[in-house]
Structure 1
């Protein structure tokens, strides 16, 4: 059996400890499993200096050589998958098998960007005789990257992959609650031969680190995944210094179930996806708008699937859903359920904490929830589903667009006309039809409205880590 790793910062190619530490807690049993070193200003200054040196080396490294190192790190992560997955399960709580799949997905981000970095093409623009115009893409510089706790390995991987593939250096501030996933990435790149300073990993009080790093002249891009509230704060701070941002923010994903599908089948499919990662996914399907004629059958199927989910410690092979991340999430879930019921919602199943040890919450279904309930406007980020009837596809689209979020949305239908209506009408950065998979490494991922700015993944995502330079060259003088 694997063990939880000894935790370190990673700065200038060296792993280091600090005097100040924070405990890392296993959410399944509330036991302390690690002591996390906390960076102070000296550590951040060291990281900035190292990243500057690293950028000068890495930006001049050929795309082929960058690709080889990134691919070697990805191979090491795949070879170490069981150890990484064990760490993820211990610090986050998700089932071990889901931890393994996260390692695979994170490795795929590295693998795709490693290939694509060799195709960061520019273009030639026809000009007058003797005049040539060339458009180049060059690495933007040092990136300050901030990753959340819900996917300890794959979320940092997404940012590191794009930055390194483009030729940038990175200072990564990973989540203090789930630090080991990012540490495994740092170890893989260290062992793969990444030059010192290209990747730096720090931990600490999020507001203190962001407020110190973002204003630095050396930081040329801020890449953040997290809540809309914090994203707005960081965007404002970056804008004071004209620093571009890449923001993947909150969502409250709608699912529109049309009346031409099998509601029992779709209900089971939707429930199995809803409770993945205990619902702690920014793209988690949450607001289900179901045609009136299909509503009750869909709801019954969904509830039956929710009731069958085995909740427990992620290291138990029978577990299908682990705990929520912390005690704060338990309180938030309970408050949202109580508010919804007090406003007239039907609690079809769940709604309560499980036991008194570990942060376990029942898979929960609320039906016929009025718009005035808080959960209709606030992303639960937990194992709660909302199922409401709609009289038409038009009403479903209107409800989907009612909120200021637009990260992911889903639809189920067999009608080509309905598909076109969904594509044209739903305001979202990512729309999935007859599937609940929101993104892949090769596809651009990001939101509209209050769900963020920019894209990660795909060709579009890689471009965010570059700047465009136009070169006009007069060949003949005279």
Structure 2
């Protein structure tokens, strides 16, 4: 089996120690690739390459940098099917969802190629006739980007797009579970003729690579998508050099169905939010609040939809729910379901491992959920939806906000006034009103509270990679 390599300063290289590891397909438990396993030393080399390449890359015009991003966008679209297949093989996502991810991932490059041309400064009226005051925006410098396995391509381009457009160079540490997706994207970047050192890829020890990115003074910013616990450690480590950070962390999204909602639409929205990517999504439904008066009716509609979902290998185009990413993830889901049932939840459907070979868990619905159940406050990352009931708007808003997380929230209503009131009172960075899939490249993505710092996407995303400089000229 050929070993896939790291990419440092425009060259593909094995790990300095010669160490490798195997990547398995969660749908079959079979080894699908062997990858070089890097550590701190390779990261030092990658950081040096990014530091050395930074002045030249930052000096290019925004239009010139956009040209590279557009070339990479075009190559991604040509390779769309192959990139999607890599996602499915490495983490199990159904192929149709994987194809959608590639579309979104490529759009982040195209969007930011244009946003880079709109990095505007200011001219401020001076206090005296002999002064001129200017505000300019400049790239922050080399960036350390750490990306997750659940959206292995779109989370990568959501960071690369604005960073590169702003004039930053990048060292990427992708998730060890999905390295081939990042490797293929970097192969395409090589075809797009990015200058050596602008893009660097180091795969391997999360601890060693992360520590080097934090401790190396040449890295001026850390951008991370992943768990809140890891994000906190990165923030703490970055504080010693006061590095700029942006963090897209965990979530525990409430999904509220009011008594005036269209129940068919709400149930379909719940399925889209919860069972997409087998529930392995930071913004997916974690708590489903249903008004007491419509509880039984809604549960019947939703249960029927969930029971109809097809489980299977993501390469089968009819598959709607693929496997979980690894055994640890599967055991976590099993534990949360068992804990909920012991504490009084009622199983409506699912509730066990699928008969399929591989790491599959049945799409599951739990009624009569309560706040003392682990699933009520621990992020699930699996295809399980607990249902709670409520009676008043004030009550459900309080329950929805009763969490350390604040990434995404959803609610369904046909009352215009309620749509405004509730969306303003929910303590979340993203709110979907009758919309289970609000993520788009042109809007800011990010959370409040312990769900993160900063925003990705929209015109706000590129600001995370810029420094604001005040220039006062006296003459």
TM-score range, shorter chain: over 0.9
CA contact (8 A) 1:5 1:180 kept: no
User: In 2, Cα distance between the equivalents of 1:424 and 1:315?
Assistant: 41
- Please tell me whether the aligned partners of residues 303 and 349 of structure 1 are also in contact (alpha carbons under 8 angstroms): yes
Other-structure match for 2:41: 42
4+ residue segments displaced more than 4 Å: none
- Helix, strand or coil at the partner of 2:4: coil
Q: Which runs of 5+ in 2 are unaligned?
A: none
Structure 1: gaps spanning 5 or more residues: none
Q: Work out whether 1:8 is the aligned partner of 2:5.
A: yes
Counterpart of 1:458 in 2: which secondary structure? coil
Residues 8-17 or 219-228, more deviating = 8-17
Q: Identify the residue that residue 148 of structure 1 maps to in structure 2.
A: 148
Structure 1 CA distance, aligned partners of 2:55 and 2:416? 52
Cα deviation, 1:184-243, whole Å, max 9, x if unaligned, reads 221121111111000101111111111122111101001000000110011000011211
Distance 1:83 1:5, change over 3 A: farther
Post-superposition offset of 1:5: 9.1
1:59 aligned to 2:45? Answer: no
Match of residue 281 from structure 2: 281
Give the Cα separation in 1 of the matches to 2:229 and 2:307. 33
Q: Distance in 2 between matches of 1:53 and 1:390?
A: 58
Please report how far the alpha carbon of residue 346 of structure 1 lies from its aligned counterpart in structure 2 after TM superposition: 1.1
Residue 352 of structure 1 corresponds to 352
Counterpart residue number, 2:390: 390
Distance 1:352 1:31 in 2: 22
User: 1:333 corresponds to which residue?
Assistant: 333
Moved more, 206-215 or 99-108: 206-215
Equivalent residue runs for 1:190-339 within 5 Å: 190-339=190-339
Shift of residue 424, structure 1, vs aligned partner: 2.0
Q: Is the 8 A contact 2:408 2:428 kept in 1?
A: yes
CA distance in 1: counterparts of 2:300 and 2:69, whole angstroms: 47
Secondary structure at the counterpart of residue 103 of structure 2: helix
Report the alpha carbon displacement of residue 46 of structure 1 after superposing the two structures with TM.
1.4
Shift of 1:394: 1.3
Q: CA deviation at 1:350?
A: 0.8
* Distance in structure 2 (CA, Å) of the matches to 1:362 and 1:293: 28
Identify the residue that residue 437 of structure 1 maps to in structure 2: 437
Deviation at 1:321, TM superposition (A): 1.1
Deviates more, 1:433-442 or 1:112-121: 433-442
1:82-135 deviations in whole A, cap 9, x for unaligned? 110111111011111111111100000001000100000011111121211111
Q: TM-score, normalised by structure 2?
A: 0.97
Alignment of 1:433-472 (within 5 A): 433-472=433-472
Query: Aligned partners of 2:167 and 2:277: how far apart in 1?
Result: 32
Matches of 1:296 and 1:302 in 2, distance apart? 10
Q: Please report the RMSD computed on the Cα atoms of aligned residues, expressed in angstroms.
A: 1.3
Name the CA shift for 1:269/1:213 in 2 (closer, same or farther; >3 Å): closer
Partner of 1:342: 342
Count of residues in correspondence between the two structures: 472
Normalising by structure 1, report the TM-score: 0.97
